[in-house]
Structure 1
Amino acid sequence: MKLLKNFLIAPSLVLLISSNLLAKNYTLEAMPLKEVIKLITSDLNLPYVVDSKFVEGKRSKSIQNIEGGIKALNKILKDFDLKAEIKNDLIVIKKMKIKNSSSSALEDVEVIESADLGTSKDGYLVHKSSDVGLWRGKSLQDTPYSLNVMSEDYIENLNATSIDQLWSINPVMQMNWSEQQNNNGYVFLRGFSSASSAFDGMRREKWQWTYNTNVEEYERLETISGSSGFLYGPSPVGGMRNFISKRPSATAKYSVKLGNAGGKGPYFHADLSSPLDEEGKFAYRLNVVVQDGETHVENQNLKKNIFNLALDYKVSDNVLLQGLISDSYYKREGHQATWNIATGATRPDASSIDSNKLWGQEWKNHENTVRRYSTNLLWDISDSVKLRAAFMQEKTTTSGYSGTNTIEVDGTYSQKVTNSTITDELYGTGAYAYLDFGFDTGSVNHQTTIGLQGSESHWSWDNDDQTNSKVTLTGLSLSSPTNVNAPVVAPVTTRDTKQYHMKSKNLTFGDSITFNPKWSMLVGASYLNLQYKSKNYEESTLTPSISLVYKPFEDLSLYTSYMESVELGGIAGKLHNSVAVVNAGDAMDPLKSNQIELGAKYSHNNMFYTLALFQIDKGLEYYDSTNANAPVFVQDGRQVHQGLEFTFTGKVNDDLIAVGGFTLLNAKIKENKENPELEGKRPTDVANQFAKVYLEYTPFTKKNISLNTGINYTGSFYGDKINTDKISSYTLVNIGAKYTTKGTKKPLTFRVNINNVADKEYWVNKGYLGDRRTVHASVTMKF
């Protein structure tokens, strides 16, 4: 492995040391205009948009010794009354409308207005990602990773008010924990749990979680499925979700939405954005959400408030400062209990437990407050040198824990619940600083990045005396929940501070090398330092990555990649299945993994297809419950996941949008010395296959009506480690419709979505039942 690391890293270091950072000088012969645009924009590593009628059949003149890509491009375009501008890392080419001999103005073209926003006009297809770890935003076609993007318009047309609505239709995700469980919903990516995430490219620490992940605050969800250690430092091996915040718009845009969010209570969302001065240097975007009322579950109420303010200040044409303040509150009154299966008992069919009823106690609540502050700096020092820096601080306050229901051998259930109101506080920070620069070594182009990334988090929590605050019920019937009066609140006795204190930082270097239009390579490495400060634990390691891309023709990319990853090991919790853990508080060593991936990406007739074959090999940690009364948290064995992943996005024709995909997965536990009987078994809750598809049909374009449907098939999975508790597969079908008025002074958009229209009853994981039918109705006014 040491030899492999040296092989991967050494060539890039040699190239960096032996090269200079001067902007490229362009001397080009006459050629078709379309070809010269592709050549220069490829050098700049930026996608472009232009109306095809401006470039088809036209031929450029030669140019001599022009320094800088944009200058060279505009020198060529000037002969055709065209001009190129960089907007949000996208090269926009527009027609100039000549006013007089001394001035000109750019003429807007409709195709430019929706450029790379992933609107319904584009079939929700996005051509370029935001920053992916250290890499500055790259073309999806040429990125040798599996990267899925859900755009703002797509999220809006799903009528989404809960993150679950995104998980359930995203083609690379299997839902693991739903929002109902503790408002910390997370997913499986390639069969591995992805509990942590990134926010505007800043990685959260492992135990920082994702409480109050509000869809209303984000304009994109970008997900890498597969190892991301080189890109983000210590991170989940299965993949990384990156939530991209809503930013101010260049022109005034306002919208107000009223609806019901799937329950009986009202829902209000205002999204307001505008420049604050005539020159457009200052701009803001404000999102406010208020929700309070009954959910679709009996005797359950949900209250949600969101305040999100984003500010942009354009210091100059080359410098942009961004700030963000987010404050969100979530309280679910009436918290569902988690289900366990007693030894020797049989799991009941989901249809025998009505998930529209509250199977916890009405006095059990779950409450979260998340406050987040962040700032970004974007500085284009020159055409070839750019600086990106960001910082985030976040505090989460959470309280309220669900009870536990256990299915007994005789078919009844028992319940254990405690009236505890202890509060946990999670503190987290994240930051990065990257320098991007481009240069040439002969005919080979380099887009290189070097930088630092870091994050830190810790917990503080209350301890209480639960002696007189516990409730234990037995012999309960599954025909109807049993409610009892609340015991006294458990008094707080002590408070622990700076627990689970973790800190990680990584120095990262990457080089995106273009040899010619057909061949390119991404190489790099991260030097990681990992610390459990509360356990006096520290370790450093190197994780390399290499990817090779071959384009036999413009619209097809074939790639192979190898990446190593490291993530902080787990910490033994206090309880497992409501039983005290023997080694509670022990910190495990970092878990190392590696991934090999072969893939293809193909663009054809407004559709984008991706295919990936992968193998991930990861260390294993789990609670050993051989003695059910004395569980031990251990790190033992390997977990190997092999699979195939396929996705598609775009417009099948002018009237039909299709987004979806499937994953076939062979996930197995290997080399488990402490429990050899687990070898060859599939990890708990991991489905062997799943498929998602979303279709949107606009039969009457002039009447502004569209119909949609979404289908989520999730294969069977197991509720126990030895694979005896098999849980059935399920298929969910959603339907919806959208209508926008024309006769009103301000256009009104009406949306109705029925999720799980067949009212399917199912287990979403081993301990929780999925949502039954819900109806989401809303009306939105934009002005």
Structure 2
Amino acid sequence: MYHAIPPFLGRPTAALVSSVFATAYAAPVTVDLPAQALSESILQLARLSGRGIAVDSALVEGRQAPAVKGAMEPLTALNKLLAGSGLEAATAADGNTVITKAADVLKEVRVVGHAPKEGTADVGYKIETAQSVGPWGRRRLLDTPYSMMVVSEDLIQNSVTDSTDQLFRMNPRIQLLQPFDMNGLTRVMMRGFLIQSAMVDGMQGNTSGQGLFIENVERMEAMTGLSGFMYGIGNVGGTLNYMTKRPTESAKRDVTVGNYGGDQYFAHADLGGPIDADGKFAYRFNALTQDGDTVIKDQSLKRSMVSGALDWHVTDRLLLGIDVLDGSYKLKGRPGQWGFANSLTALPSVPDTKRLWASPDNMNNVDTERYGARVQWDINDIFAFRAGYGFQKDERNTIYSTLTVTGDATYSLAKSFVRSYRTDTESAYAYLETKFKLFDIANKLTVGANGYVVEGYGGYTAGGTLPAQIGNAHTNLDLSNPDSANVALPDFDFGSLHMLKTDRTRSKNIIVGNETIFNDKWSMLLGLNHASYLVENHDAPTGAVTIKYDKSKTTPTASLLFKPLPYLTTYVTYIEALQQGQIVSGASFTNDGEIMPPSVSKQYEAGVKAELGGSLLTMSLFQIEKANAYNQDNGNGTFTMFQNGRQRHQGVEFAASGKATHDLTLLGGLTLLDAEVQKSTNNVGVGKVPQGVAQVIAKVYGEYNFPSLRELTATGGLYYTGKSYIDAANKLEAPSYLTIDLGLRYSTRVMGRQTTIRALVTNLTDKRYWMSNYTIGTMMGAPRAVSVSASIAF
């Protein structure tokens, strides 16, 4: 198999081979290959299409390929790459494609290796491209001047997970703030900043991260650092972009059954393929059912989801697609949220994490509907247009309680809060690209817009008030007795509530970006984003606007890239972005519903990326400045959120992904962070580490394929998160912790069908640890769980 290999690692001398398992199906594929070395274009086309390609290396050495873009059959794309080269492509008897001189007679060519598609276990989950980098579109990771890590569909499935938690645990740039099944929401930090919203197919999803079903995710693209230019307001620490499953070019019939721990049994069907013989229409269908008790006593979870997607290749240049999802998440037994009395000087030991420490009548139900559409039109060789639209509705009913540790062995339990929410999120983007030359220098100009509108609704009584707390308050409870918080609650009828409008947020971004390629070593990205941000808080009973922010600003971005070698990229990047203020959400906050004013954040970044053998290695240095936000624990089960002053976060990130050896896959890295509050109007936290920020994160995930038994693979991970502080004054420290995962995967054939059996033990040592989440309180980490699954391809 051919790779772009550095000279000191050797040079292919016999044949350049970019080969994958041959397939007779030749439906159109979406190609976006830049002008580059012909050998590199052939390799990328082979991986993209899944078709074998073989050629004598001497034939392509030193040759350049033109840019090729559009939806077309792989052979058509290959012939476009070969245009004017004196070479031609033909199909050999074994189904592989062979490149020869135009006058040559096709003869047997030895295919010496295989190059599976990117992101598969066979290539160590190494990803070549990012599918959605805002206005920049689809880009090679090696040539993207931002810190990114992409999780593939293969890795998601092999993680045996029903949420994003396991993906976050593996990522050395991400700090997990709470278990997903705390309240069905995503809460992480990237570069020391809170990330709670989710992007779906490059568009804004639910701003609290609700309504995500990992079984419908094809890949997760995590960009760390300020990304407001690409995706708009609200992305200081980074962006989590979930690309949903799209129709497949060949038939797919996969069924997976298993258990996520406890009595959490599930079944998942993933179907797809062409509808007609010409491959103009293709579909994808996913269905999930999951139900049963979790590993936490008195807790059960029921999930269900149905999703579908349809693609229509109108022509070889025009693609239209639609998708839909309907999902339900029902958690009975929502864990308690911990707070600590102001008199405490240290956190107590973590109590039993396999207990709720709350009423089993606490709950969290979320119902989600999502609809989407997209168009990709390569108008001609100069102009291209792409656009997308998404709508998501999330309805959430929740009952939860807070606990306050009052001494070394005592705590109090507050009455349970009752809340009902509905969020409607509408988002879209549209970009027009044009290629041109200026003074014989290649450019690609992108102009367009993206944005979203979010309308929030809350459940109110007939009298126009929020629901009162239910149950009773309890004091002087025993921390050594997990059943002390196991209290019954009276029934509550959510149907009695009236949904009234509480807030509206609108974000609009007008974007101009240009990529200039000076030569094969130097390139530059320049862009401007005119961002507009409107926020309104409503008095629900009357509908009157009580708080309003309407701010706009034009912010720049600039990146300079230098490629001293084909497999090595260095870059420097500067980004400014308008940043939304902290949104206070939670009945336990005394200022619940308050929206803090927006501000401007800045980031400087320098990095290097290298492809060595089968691995992608990256390093980045960064500095970010933004407004400071923190909460005050009032010591009585309530909190108050504040935003004032400035934070400065600077640090370094190292990451690696891919094949370390033929049999060993390694994914992991290290984040070292120096985070500090530099300004504060009331001097709270000045010179301190911002609340909840871990300044050291080190993680490694590995897979080892046994040479004597190729069907068997050992999997496992070591995940370290450094200490953090749960208060702005840095008086209460949440200690560092290390968790260990261990698993096995066995692939075989049963009755002629490819079958894969997986088992994973998360938190092998059942480590107990605190997780500092300043947005809703402190959480306990997830306990040990054993997950198993079996997948059969029909």
Which TM-score tier does this pair reach, normalised by the shorter chain? 0.7 to 0.9
Q: Which residue of 2 aligns with 1:670?
A: 678
What is the Cα deviation at residue 518 of structure 1? 1.0
CA–CA distance in 2 between the matches of 1:151 and 1:772? Answer: 26
Counterpart of 1:220? 219
Aligned partners of 2:417 and 2:468 also within 8 Å:
no
- Quick one: structure 1 residues 746 and 547, their matched pair in 2 at CA, closer, same or farther if it must change by over 3 Å? same
Structure 2 gaps of 5+ residues are 1-14, 18-31, 47-51, 71-76, 538-546
Q: Relative to structure 1, is the Cα distance of residues 278 and 549 closer, same or farther in structure 2, using a 3 angstrom cutoff?
A: same
Structure 2 residue aligned with 1:48, among 44, 50, 53?
44
**Residue 486 of structure 1: SS of its match in structure 2?**
coil
Contact 1:350 1:769 in 2 (8 A): no
User: Counterpart of 1:154 in 2: which secondary structure?
Assistant: helix
What is the match of residue 186 of structure 1? 187
Cα pair distance change 1:371/1:350, threshold 3 Å = farther
Counterpart residue identity of residue 566, structure 2: E
- Checking the alignment, whether the CA contact within 8 Å between 2:622 and 2:652 is kept in structure 1 is yes
Q: 2: distance between equivalents of 1:654 and 1:504?
A: 47
Q: Which residue number in structure 2 is paired with residue 518 of structure 1?
A: 521
Q: Structure 1, unaligned stretches of length 5 or more? A: 1-31, 84-92
What is the 5 A alignment of 1:310-709? 310-351=309-350, 353-409=351-407, 411-418=409-416, 420=418, 422-464=419-461, 466=467, 469-479=470-480, 480-482=482-484, 483-487=486-490, 489=492, 495=498, 497-534=500-537, 535-573=547-585, 575=587, 578=588, 580-581=590-591, 585-623=593-631, 633-674=641-682, 676-700=683-707, 703-709=710-716
Residue 752 of structure 2: SS of its match in structure 1? coil
What is the distance in 2 between the residues matched to 1:105 and 1:312? 38
Deviation at 1:197, TM superposition (A): 2.3
**1:555-589 deviation line (CA, Å, top 9, x unaligned):** 111110100011222345574xx3533xx554432
State the identity %. Answer: 31
Q: What is the DSSP-based 3-state SS (H/G/I as helix, E as strand, rest coil) of the residue aligned with 2:129? A: coil
**1:256 aligns to 2:255 (yes or no):** yes
**Counterparts of 1:218 and 1:744 in 2: how far apart (Å)?**
29
Q: Distance in 1 between matches of 2:494 and 2:605?
A: 53
Give the corresponding residue for 1:127.
Answer: 128
C-alpha change, 1:627 and 1:740, in structure 2 (3 Å) is closer
1:230-280 Cα shifts (integer Å, max 9, x gaps)? 111112200001100111111111111110012223111111112111111
Distance 2:604 2:492 in 1: 52
Q: CA deviation at 1:185?
A: 2.0
Q: CA deviation at 1:164?
A: 0.9
SS of residue in 2 equivalent to 1:538: strand
Q: Distance in 1 between matches of 2:258 and 2:365?
A: 23
Deviation of 1:481 after TM superposition, in Å, equals 2.2
TM-aligned CA distance change 1:149 to 1:499, over 3 Å: same
In 2, distance between residues paired with 1:122 and 1:695? 13
CA distance in 1, matches of 2:627, 2:601: 7
Contact 1:419 1:488 in 2 (8 A): no
Could you say what the CA RMSD is over the residues aligned between the two structures, in angstroms?
3.4
* Residue identity opposite 2:733 in structure 1: K
- Find out whether 1:749 has 2:760 as its counterpart: no
TM-score norm. by structure 2 comes to 0.86
Encode CA deviations 1:510-564: one digit per residue, 9 max, x unaligned: 1111101111111001011111144443121011000101111111111101000
- What's the secondary structure of 1:406's corresponding residue? strand
Distance in 2, Cα, partners of 1:611 & 1:295: 39
What amino acid maps onto 2:523 in structure 1? S
Could you tell me which amino acid in structure 2 is paired with residue 781 of structure 1?
I
Distance 1:657-1:719 versus aligned 2 partners, 3 A rule = same
Deviation sequence 1:408-428 (CA, Å, 0-9, x none):
1362111013273x4210000
Matched letter for residue 402 of structure 1: Y
Q: Would you say the 8 A contact 1:41–1:48 is kept in 2? A: no
Match of 1:13 in 2: none
Q: d(CA) in 1 for partners of 2:334 and 2:501?
A: 28
Residue 108 to residue 393, structure 1, CA distance change in 2 (3 Å): farther
Query: Over residues 170-194 of structure 1, what are the superposed CA-to-partner deviations in whole Å (9 max), with x where a residue is unaligned?
Result: 1211101221221102210000001
Distance 1:444 1:111, change over 3 A: farther
Q: 2:346·2:731 contact (CA, 8 Å) conserved in 1?
A: no
The 8 Å contact of residues 418 and 466 in structure 1, kept in 2 or not, is answered as no
Residues 513, 500 of structure 1: CA spacing in aligned structure 2 closer, same or farther, 3 A cutoff? same
Contact 1:268 1:290 in 2 (8 A): yes
Q: TM-score, normalised by structure 1?
A: 0.87
* Alpha-carbon offset, residue 40 of structure 1: 2.8
In 2, are the aligned partners of 1:97 and 1:107 still within 8 Å (CA)?
Answer: no
The separation in 2 between residues aligned to 1:572 and 1:660, in whole angstroms, is 33
Deviations 1:28-47 (A, max 9, x none): xxxx999xx99834799988
Q: Secondary structure at the match of 1:121?
A: helix
Cα distance in 1 for partners of 2:474, 2:37 equals 67
Deviates more, 1:125-134 or 1:456-465: 456-465
Match of 2:729, SS state, is coil
Alignment match, 2:49:
none
In 1: Cα distance, 2:271 partner to 2:689 partner = 48
Change (3 A) 1:308 1:519: same
2: CA distance between counterparts of 1:365 and 1:709? 33
| Partner Cα distance (2:430, 2:317) in 1 | 17
Q: Against the structure 1 CA distance between its residues 245 and 402, is the aligned structure 2 distance closer, same or farther, given a 3 Å change threshold?
A: same
The residue that corresponds to 1:137 in the other structure is 138
Equivalent position of 1:737 in the other structure:
744
Shift of 1:65: 12
* Distance in structure 1 (CA, Å) of the matches to 2:137 and 2:565: 24
Cα distance, 1:659–1:82 mapped onto 2, change above 3 Å: farther
Q: 1:155 maps to what in 2?
A: 156
- 1:241 and 1:67 map into 2 onto residues whose CA distance is 29
Q: Distance in 2 between matches of 1:65 and 1:185?
A: 43
The more displaced of 270-279 and 619-628 is 619-628
In 2, the alpha carbon distance for the partners of 1:589 and 1:38 equals 43
Distance apart, 1:740 and its partner CA: 1.4
* AA of the residue aligned to 2:612: H
**AA partner of residue 657 (structure 2):** T
Contact 1:249 1:285 in 2 (8 A): yes
Whole-Å Cα distance in 2 between the matches of residues 166 and 516 of structure 1? 38
8 Å CA contact 1:503–1:533 kept in 2: the answer is no
Alpha-carbon displacement from aligned partner over 1:704-754 (angstroms, at most 9, x marks no partner): 111111110001111111001011111111011111123532122111111
Q: 1:45 to 1:109 in 2, by over 3 A?
A: closer
**SS in structure 2 at match of 1:134:** helix
Pair 1:770-2:781 in alignment:
yes
